[in-house]
Chain A
Amino acid sequence: MRPMATTASSAFRKLSSKGAPVTHLTSLTIADAREKLAKKEFTALELTEAHLAAMERAKDLNAFITMTGDLARERARESDKRLSAGQGGTLEGIPLGIKDLFCTEGVLTTAASHILDGFTPRYESTVSQKLRDAGSVMLGKLNLDEFAMGSANITSYYGPVKNPWKAKGRDVELVPGGSSGGSASSVAAHLVMGATGTDTGGSIRQPAAFCGIVGVKPTYGRCSRWGVVAFASSLDQAGPMTRTVRDAAIMLRAMAGYDPKDSTSAQLEVPDFEAALGKGVKGLRIGIPKEYRPAGLGPELAALWDKGVEWLKAAGATPVEISLPHTKSALPTYYIVAPAEASSNLARYDGVRFGLRVDGKSLDDMYAKTRAAGFGAEVRRRIMIGTYVLSAGYYDAYYLKAQKVRALINQDFTDAFEKVDAILTPTAPTPAFGIGEKSDDPIAMYLNDVFTVPASLAGIPGASVPAGLSADGLPLGLQVLTRRWDEETLFRVCQVLEDAAQFPLLPAV
């Protein structure tokens, strides 16, 4: 008898010879795969091989910076051992992608920046460790905007990521959104069953909307930030990106939880989010903020939003018009707070301890040359803005002012949640746009996050659910926001939207 097939192409033949289409295994949800693995309908190794083969076929998307096929096969075999011993974890044998902002022991971690050339962490981030402990199989490290700064995944040193969706009748490559663009693209194209993302101002929710998948940014403090390359520490939060709401609930439970290594991680029990899914929205009050309907909001998005309200109403919820009066100040506030924190966090990239070094005449000269060569234009811009707003004479006028406005934005949400249990808005003001568009105008690019940034500033949980298609066939998302620590209500609302929308997910590649 021949040894068991281990390469991607032989896995293809193996599955094909059984008569099952090769896309079968990559079409499954995490929830289904978990059940079928437990019933031994296929092995974790077969599931991993099917996804590695899909990754090869879809290399053109540039979703991965590093593929870790051999490591994945090794871990899948270990999963199979645990599954046959009846010792599987909650994600045993499930192939996942990890955004390349999470440090992974012994695996190149780049933050999509030249400045982290060759950086191979000697430790594992808490979130990726938890996913490993739950039995998941990492397939590789996913592309992103450099240091998670961007909304189109065009600032990566490793090149732009493509969105697997295309507009009807137009052969134009579209952006996947950002910064978790590789995560969104790979999940939508069925290269992985789920992926980690991080969200500082919308970096999970906006790409989820652009690629037609589910993205959840939990409450700030729900997931440990330890071992995640820091961008803006008071905003950064990890979360799951999946094809279904249930899968996001399963994955978030595995990622979340108290970590003594992150002083802002919450010492709260992690609820069973999956158990909340079936509870419906009957009796819930859903806030519809009038400030989220600016003049420029496309009629398609406005109509989809109205439809979302109708779906929730039909399921027994009550829509309530609310006001979040400081909404329009959120983006400029964010573009003071986030660069300020980034300028401090990114001070560590100095050519001394890790990554790139460009020699100079003196220590200072070496720092300045290394950082000029190592950081891309957007990152340099944000570090300089951050340095400026924190500098003597400007601190009060910019940084302190922004912190005060942030308090007002937070208060808006606190007041709103006195009247409602959840808030429904569009996720992004437009569907995905072409690679190269908006790249010359930083502020036009920043406007992508106009609906996602307020919740980031307030630290409340938010999710994007794919809810419909634009006239030219591109995904549109609706965003749900709830009170701090109330992801259970978030998942309930998302599940009702998902059931009502019947969104046409992309077929597996």
Chain B
Amino acid sequence: MSLDKATVRRIATLSRIEVADADLEVVAGQLSGILNWIEQLKEVDTTDVAPMTGGTDLKLQWRPDVVNDGDKMEKVLANAPDGHDGFFGVPKVVE
């Protein structure tokens, strides 16, 4: 399986990682190498096998659906590159 430049551009967009046009070829080669290597899983017979979706055999813990934390606006905003007046600042999204 070999990825073309258009596919890499699409993956980069989905990943929200800018990849320069000049680098598309190199990245395509690296990703294709890894995908070719993982292709070997196709040989494994998984008929009627249920997927393993987590790392534990224990039942996940439940808790009452109530608010048990909060009122930490200052702490939540403390590390924001542009946090002010109780908001996260971002570039303009609505013209």
Contact = CB atoms under 8 A, between A and B. Distances in A.
Interface residues of B, number: 49
B44 A234 contact: no
A224 to B, nearest CB: 11
B59 to A, nearest CB: 9
A73 B22 CA distance: 51
Given A372-B17, A405-B46, A119 B31 contact: no
A498 to B, nearest CB: 28
Interface in A471-509: 484
B66 interface: no
Contact of A406 (B30, B33, B52): B52
Given A120-B79, A220-B55, A381-B30, A404 B50 contact: yes
Given A329-B44, A387-B11, A366 B91 contact: yes
Contacts of A361: 91
A50 interface: no
Interface in A395-411: 398, 400-408, 410
A306 interface: no
Nearest to A346: B15
Given A352-B88, A408-B49, A410-B52, A357 B15 contact: no
A384 B24 CA distance: 12
Contact of B16 (A123, A326, A371): A371
A264 B78 CA distance: 28
A221 B58 contact: yes
Contact of A332 (B19, B38, B49, B90): B38
Given A260-B63, A407-B50, A401 B33 contact: no
Given A336-B38, A353-B88, A459 B55 contact: yes
A7 interface: no
A366 B89 CA distance: 12
Contacts of A381: 27, 30-31, 34
A443 B40 contact: no
A66 to B, nearest CB: 16
A380 B23 CA distance: 13
Interface in B43-85: 44, 46, 49-58, 60-61, 63, 72, 75-76, 78-82
Contacts of B46: 401, 404-405, 408
B75 A400 contact: no
B31 A384 contact: yes
Contacts of B91: 359-363, 365-366
A363 B56 contact: no
Given A363-B93, A371-B15, A384-B12, A398 B38 contact: yes
Given A359-B91, A407-B52, A264 B60 contact: yes
A375 B17 contact: yes
B55 A402 contact: no
A388 B79 contact: no
A326 B52 CA distance: 15
A343 interface: yes
A25 B35 CA distance: 50
Contacts of B31: 381, 384-385, 388
Contact of A407 (B51, B56, B88): B51
A267 interface: yes
A387 B54 contact: no
A367 interface: yes
A384 B50 contact: no
A383 interface: yes
Given A264-B54, A405-B46, A372 B18 contact: yes
A380 B55 contact: no
A41 B75 CA distance: 42
A459 B58 CA distance: 11
B25 to A, nearest CB: 14
Contacts of A263: 60-61
A104 interface: no
B13 to A, nearest CB: 8
B11 A388 contact: yes
Interface string A401-433: 111111110100000000000000000000000
Contacts of A350: 16
A355 B81 contact: yes
Contacts of A343: 15
A408 B47 CA distance: 11
Nearest to A397: B42
A466 interface: no
Contacts of A336: 38, 41
A443 B34 contact: yes
Interface of A: 118-123, 220-221, 233-235, 237, 260, 263-267, 326, 329, 332-333, 335-336, 343, 347, 350-357, 359-369, 371-372, 375, 380-381, 383-385, 387-388, 391, 398, 400-408, 410, 442-443, 457, 459, 484
Interface of B: 8, 11-19, 27, 30-31, 33-35, 37-38, 40-42, 44, 46, 49-58, 60-61, 63, 72, 75-76, 78-82, 88, 90-93
Given A237-B55, A332-B40, A401-B44, 6 more contacts: A119-B79, A234-B55, A352-B88, A385-B34, A401-B41, A402-B38
